[in-house]
Each structure stands twice: as structure tokens, then as C-alpha cells.
Chain A
Amino acid sequence: MKSLKKLIAALALLPVLALASEGGFPLDRAPDHTRDIAALQHGAKLFVNYCLNCHSASSMRYNRLRDIGLSEEQIKNNLLFTSDKVGALMTSAMSPEDGKKWFGTAPPDLSVIARAKASEAGSGPDYLYTYLRSFYKDDTRPTGWNNLVYPSVAMPHALWELQGVRAAKFVEQKDPHEEGKTEHKFAGFEQIKPGKMSNLEYDAAVADLVSYMTWMAEPAQETRQRLGVWVLLFLFLFLFLAWRLNASYWREVK
């Protein structure tokens, strides 16, 4: 009896012990600008100008941008680079075959990338926000670029003219877990060439871009949450009525 209780207590604790932290570059938390129309519009502009050259967002229609406050006229005049129809899907001018030939792999579709990249390490936006701010110059790579979040990534630093060129400093230090081994540890960036933006401006721009991609991954999310409040209010009222109805029938049961 006592040992049975002990076994139960031990089993209940086990999942905590079973949790082990995974390696990988730690992710920064992405600022959430998804409720900020101006930020989303800025993000959309960056997305169309910098991402859509190689990537597609083939589930996304240009005219859906009306949901973030743009008129069809504005979309047509400022954002419509890869198509001439405002109802068209955001497909890249570069074909996946060319992408494979030029970069070694076809650039992934970005429609729902903000949802796909979530993991135990952080949310999808956290991943994108850190990834887009972690490129550094690396002449050993075919593109001349490397990334801390995604080492040896095939993608070059598409936003380099905004951020400028940075190098990553690494130090060799003793591995605290394994004796006699050294680990290659990141020790900060070094700005080699300034970009159009300061570091702070660049971080804010990436936050806008990531917020846009988060919105694009599920354009209905604001509608969903707004509607959800009403649905729940209705259901609580319904529950109250159902509860009273139930009570009035069961009062007579002895």
C-alpha cells in the first residue's frame, strides 16, 4: 500500500525529469505588431520588395491586403510587381526550378511560414525575427552569407542593403560538459559595412516584416478572435438558460 503510493508519486514526477533542453541558437522574442495597421503595411511593402523576388506566397492574394487597410488602387500602384491582376496570387517571378539551379534548393513558399517555424525553442515569429537578424558574411559559403539560426542556409542575406554587412566573431572555449573538447561559440557581430538603416531601425523593420508574415499566415485571425468573444458570450448565456431549465425539471425528482 505504502510502496504503491510512492510509485504513483514517483511516476507523476517523471515527465518533469524526462524534459531535456534541446540545443540550437537561442531565439529572441519577436515584437508583435500584428494589430498595428501601419506596421503591417510597412511589412507588406518590405515583403513584396525583398522576399517575393525569390519566394512565393502562393496561398495569398494581393487584394487580401485590403484587410490591412490598403485600397485596390494602392495595391495596384505600389505592390503589384509579379502580376497585373489585383486578385492574383503572390507567386514569385523566379521558378522553383531556377531556384534549385541557382541556390541548390527551391525557396520555400512563405504563405504559412510563420506558423510552420514554431517549435519548443519559440514561436514562428520568434524564429523569423531572429533568423532575419542573424546573417553574417562568410566567404566559405557559395552565396557569401551564413546564418546563426540556420547554419549553412542556402538563402543569401536578402535584406543586406538595409542592415549592411556584418561579420560574426567566434571564440574557441572549453566545453563545460565534455573535458578536453572545445566548442565554437558565437561572441557577437562586427559591422563591416553600414546599411541604409541603423541597428535599431533594422530591428523595427524586421519586426514589421515578421508581423506582416504572421498576419499573412492566417489573415482570418483577427476576425476569428473578434467573433470568438461573441460566440463565448452567447454560449455563457445559453449555459445559464440550460442550467435553469435543468434545475426546474430536476426539482421535482425526489
Chain B
Amino acid sequence: MAFQEKKLPADAPLADKALNWIDPRFPLSATWKAHVSEYYAPKNFNFWYAFGSLALLVLVIQIVTGIFLVMHYKPDANLAFASVEYIMRDVPWGWLVRYMHSTGASAFFIVVYLHMLRGLLYGSYRKPRELVWLFGVAIFLCLMGEAFFGYLLPWGQMSYWGAQVIVNLFGAIPFIGPDLSLWIRGDYVVSDATLNRFFSFHVIAIPLILIGLVVAHIVALHEVGSNNPDGIEIKEKTDDKGIPLDGIPFHPYYTVHDVMAAAVFLIVFSAVVFFGPEMGGYFLEYNNFIPADPLKTPPHIAPVWYFTPFYSILRATTSDFMYWLMAGVAAYVALIFVRSKLRGTTKMVAGIIGLVVIVGMLVFDAKFWGVVLMGVSVMILALLPWLDSAPAKSIRYRPNWHKYIYLLFGIAFLVLGYLGTLPPTDGRTLVAQVCTFIYFGFFLLMPWWSRSGTFKPVPERVTYHPH
């Protein structure tokens, strides 16, 4: 097709002329329409649907405040701690930018955890949104990396020893472990070399990937369309123009919604930034106001709160617990053989994998398996679309007792998180072990529990009550 430019009257507004010049050269209007003004979202969204755009808002806050922090921060083991205090005192508004960034880190996880919970409740990961979910899991992994690398930068005691503990975990991997952790640190202990590479990852590598993944997440979502609290595909009922009957343009209807949500979020966010930026030691750990000292190990090293559920699973994996885990694996393989409709060869593969895992558990020590379980506890999220076989997507039309299973899972997750902030005792470890079983049981038994019970009829159209 030949290049075509529409003819506008000479007295047309300047903005129209500009757009008329741009559009044949770049799909500006088309992109705006496809993703904003003519993207039809279900009209029955509730407050749970605000956390996606809030996550985007926090991402912007983190990037903008991060840019200003990098202007004054020094990624040097001798200067880093003092440069943060310099930002807090001598840089005009530095304290505000720094508190926004440190509070933003925790806010990011709160918003993302709620965003993920929304997906869990309404089955937003189910077909055809598997890729939306997988991009989301990748974003979550990046976020964890971003938070981990960033936490070293203030170079306080917790920064230092937290990084030391986590990098040492890689040392538990058989054969390559010690060399691997040495390679990650770039030194025999966490040092200036480690600080420099973590700085590089934190400000360049991970943010680049993160932004790319966010774009992919949204593009994939807009390709298949948004899910909704009823778990109904609105694209199945359209008018003669192909517009979903239960759809509504994202702009202005959801932009005004999200602006309101942003206002509520910013009120909570500002309350923390201005009146309690340490958040009782959870957002800024007290020990991190002591400069890093490689010769003084703090008596209690706890990761920041958003990592503690997974850290708890790691710590729960003691050598006594290994026998329970082996029994769990054996029981799971038996369950697959007896109660699944998988093909014989698939069952055999599952049996062999189970056997290898059990032998591995006898051969390698508990520390290694703790690391494996911690990794699997995050990665297992990626399997959700294929584990869930409920006939209804949304929790609204599932059997009532499913709600208690979600509640049990949620409580186990929170208890794990809480225990991860405390030093371990025998009693706490036992509780964490019970919760670890609940956590993995929720996912691994999902193919069975998710399809049992009496489901409620799913309506044809979404439930919507005019405001």
C-alpha cells in the first residue's frame, strides 16, 4: 500500500494536524485505541482489580526515585553507608526520595501479593490467560531479584549479612555450589566487588528485563482480554460490532477508577513515608543503621518481610524433616498411580522422578533440599494453570468448602512469613513444617481437590449492580 496522508482543512486545530502527521508514520492513535480507549474490560471489576495499575504506579515511583538516588549514592564499600546518610541529610529532599524508594519496595510486594491473590481467587491464570500468568510469575521473580540486589546497597549490617546468607545458599548445591557462590560474589566474602555488581544488576539489568516483562504481561492480557470476578469470558457475547456486551472502554471508566484507587493507595503510602518510614523495623530494619562489618555477625539475621514466607520454608527443612518429605513424595507418587487418569508412561515417569528425589534426599543434606524447596515454593506458581481443574474459574461458583482451603493456604503463607522474621525455636520450626506441608499440599493436590464438590451454576452474563 502506498503511503497515504489524509488531507485536513487548512484551519484544522494544530493537535489534529500533528496527529494526522504522526499516525501514518507511527500507530499512535491505533495503539491508544487498542490498549486504552477501545480496550473493552468487563464492567463488573471490583476493588481487587486496582492492584495491577497500582503495581504500575509503584514501578514508576521506584524508577523515578531510583534515578535521583543514583545521582548521589556511591556504590563503594567504603562510601556506600555514608552516602545514604548524606542523601538523608545534605541532599535537598533526599530524605523524601529515599523514604519513598524504601517504602516503595515494600509497597511493591504488598500490591503484587494482592494482585496475585486476586488472580488466585478468580482463576485469572486459567486458559486462555496462561501466558499472562507466566509473564506475571517472571515479573515476580525479577521483583525478588531486584529487591535482593537493592537491599545490599545501603551497606548496613542486615544488607551485608542477608546477602552473605542468601549467596551462601547457592553453596549448598552439590558439586558446583562453592564455586557458584564464589562466582556470584566475585570474592570469598561479600565485598566491594559484590556491591558493585549488585548495584549494576539493581539499576540496569533487572529493571530492563522487568519493564520488558511488564509490557509483555499487558500485551498478552489485552490480546485475550481481562478476566473478571465471575470468571466469564465476555468475548463470547458481543453486539453486531463485535464489542462485548458486558465490556466497557478502559478509558475513561477504568482510568477514573484507577485514579481513585491511586488516591487511596497514596494516602496509605504517604502515611508510612511521612509518619513511620521504618514501619516498626519491617520496612527499614534497625540493624541496617549499623554499617556493614564483615567481622561481626549479627545474632539474628532475618530477610525483609516480603521474603520471609519462602525463607521460613528453607529453615523448616531440617534433617529430621527429610523423612517426612520422603514420605510425602512417596505418598504423592502413590496418589498419582492410584487416583489419576494420566497415561501409563506418564505415571512411570512420575514414579521414576519420585524415586530419584527420594534417593537424592538420602544422599544430599537437608540444607540443599531447603534451598530446593525454597526455589520450588516460588516456581510452583508457574504450574497453576495446569494444576487447577475446577469447572468454574471464579471462587464465586466453586463449592463453599474451597473457600476454607484458600483461607488455610493464606493463613499458612502468613504464618510462614511471620515465623521467618523470628529466630527459630523447636516449636516454631514444627509450626513452619506443618505450614510447609499445607503450602505445597495446596498446589500439588489441586488437580484432585479443585474438581471435587458441587459447583454452582455459572451465569451467562456478568453480575453487575449499577452504582
Chain A residues proximal to chain B, CB less than 8 Å: 1, 4-5, 7-8, 11-12, 14-15, 17-20, 58-61, 64, 108-109, 111-113, 115-119, 124, 217-220, 224-225, 227-229, 231-232, 235-236, 238-239, 242-243, 245-247, 249-251, 253-254
Contacts and interface: CB of A to CB of B under 8 A. Distances in A.
Given A11-B408, A224-B95, A116 B287 contact: yes
Interface string B72-93: 0000000000100110111000
10 contacts: A11-B435, A18-B418, A116-B290, A118-B278, A118-B286, A220-B95, A228-B275, A229-B274, A235-B263, A246-B257
A239 B264 contact: yes
B interface secondary structure, majority: helix
Given A59-B89, A254-B466, 15 more contacts: A4-B405, A4-B408, A59-B82, A118-B281, A119-B286, A124-B286, A224-B95, A228-B271, A239-B263, A242-B256, A242-B260, A245-B259, A246-B256, A250-B253, A253-B43
B256 A218 contact: no
A8 B404 CA distance: 8
Contacts of A5: 404
Contacts of B262: 242
B274 A228 contact: yes
Q: B88, B253, B286, B419: which has the most chain A beta carbons within 10 Å?
A: B286
Contacts, number: 132
Given A8-B404, A235-B267, A239-B260, A15 B415 contact: yes
B138 interface: no
A11 B412 contact: yes
Q: Would you list the 9 A-B pairs with minimal beta carbon distance, nearest first?
A: A228-B274, A116-B289, A59-B85, A239-B263, A242-B260, A118-B286, A220-B95, A115-B289, A112-B289
Contacts of B411: 8, 11-12
A227 B99 CA distance: 14
A251 to B, nearest CB: 6
B415 A20 contact: no
Contact of A8 (B85, B263, B407): B407
A183 B86 CA distance: 46
Nearest to B432: A18
A251 B266 contact: no
B142 to A, nearest CB: 30
A228 B273 contact: yes
Contacts of B431: 14, 18
B267 A232 contact: yes
B315 to A, nearest CB: 13
Nearest to B422: A18
Contacts of A59: 82, 85-86, 88-89
Nearest to A254: B466
A234 to B, nearest CB: 9
Contact of A4 (B85, B401, B435): B401
Contact of B274 (A1, A12, A225, A238): A225
A232 B281 contact: no
B329 interface: no
Interface in B224-267: 248, 252-253, 256-257, 259-260, 262-264, 266-267
A37 B291 CA distance: 30
A242 B262 CA distance: 9
Contact of B427 (A1, A18, A242): A18
B347 interface: no
B274 A115 contact: no
Given A4-B404, A242-B260, A253-B466, A18 B281 contact: no
Contact of A108 (B256, B290, B418): B290
B454 interface: no
A61 B466 contact: no
Nearest to A105: B296
A224 B260 CA distance: 25
B293 to A, nearest CB: 10
Contacts of B434: 11
A1 B404 CA distance: 9
Contacts of B90: 61
A243 B80 CA distance: 43
Contacts of A249: 252-253, 256
B343 interface: no
A29 to B, nearest CB: 16
B415 to A, nearest CB: 6
Interface string B272-298: 011101100100001101110000000
B274 A231 contact: yes
A113 B89 CA distance: 15
Interface string B412-430: 1001001100100101100
Contacts of A61: 89-90
Contacts of B418: 15, 18
B311 to A, nearest CB: 15
